[in-house]
């Protein structure tokens, strides 16, 4: 009898603890979501989400390295209070020997490009050429909305689909 009472008491205690902890967990989850939203600069649910998109415009494969290319684009529209916008396109590469993508360092990549003041929609294209193979390429496009003083109003980022460059004929690679 005593064991049944101890087991029942323990279960009741766990249920009570769960009931007490649940609101705290929910509050922490909501707080964590709010902190994440601040970091990612996501708008409140009632506010219209700003338009920002990242696209793989073109992916050209070839057996000749100098003919391989990918064109990535970012497009952004103004939000209330923004006077200009900016974006940065970072191209990333992953070879079959690598588990993760790494950022490609080359002239013109990873540079912030700003719209003129008053522009309502801004699109920027970046073509990369002479791609190695086999490898997969994608871009991360970073977006910023700025006010008249240049202060950041909102930011976000988007990833493009991947451009796969398959292995080619070794004899053709040398051309």
Residues whose CB is less than 8 angstroms from the CB of residue 57 and which lie 6 or more positions away in sequence, other chains included = 71, 72, 73, 125
62 has pLDDT over 80 = yes
> Which pLDDT band, with edges at 50, 70 and 90, does 108 fall under?
confident
Higher pLDDT, 167 or 35: 167
pTM exceeds cut of 0.75: no
Count Cβ atoms within 10 A of the Cβ of residue 105 and give its class: 0-12 exposed, 13-18 middle, 19 or more buried. Answer: exposed
Mean pLDDT of the chain: 78
């Amino acid at each position: 009898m005593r064991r049944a009472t101890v087991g029942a008491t323990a279960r009741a205690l766990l249920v009570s603890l769960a009931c007490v902890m649940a609101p705290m967990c929910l509050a922490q989850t909501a707080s964590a979501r709010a902190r994440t939203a601040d970091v990612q600069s996501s708008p409140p649910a009632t506010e219209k989400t700003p338009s920002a998109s990242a696209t793989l415009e073109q992916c050209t494969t070839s057996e000749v390295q100098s003919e391989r290319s990918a064109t990535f684009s970012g497009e952004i529209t103004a939000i209330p209070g923004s006077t200009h916008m900016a974006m940065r396109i970072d191209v990333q590469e992953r070879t079959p020997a690598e588990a993760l993508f790494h950022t490609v360092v080359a002239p013109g990549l990873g540079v912030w490009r700003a719209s003129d003041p008053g522009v309502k929609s801004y699109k920027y294209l970046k073509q990369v050429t002479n791609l190695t193979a086999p490898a997969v390429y994608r871009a991360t496009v970073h977006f910023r909305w700025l006010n008249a003083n240049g202060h950041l109003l909102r930011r976000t980022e988007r990833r493009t689909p991947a451009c796969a460059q398959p292995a080619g004929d070794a004899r053709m690679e040398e051309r």
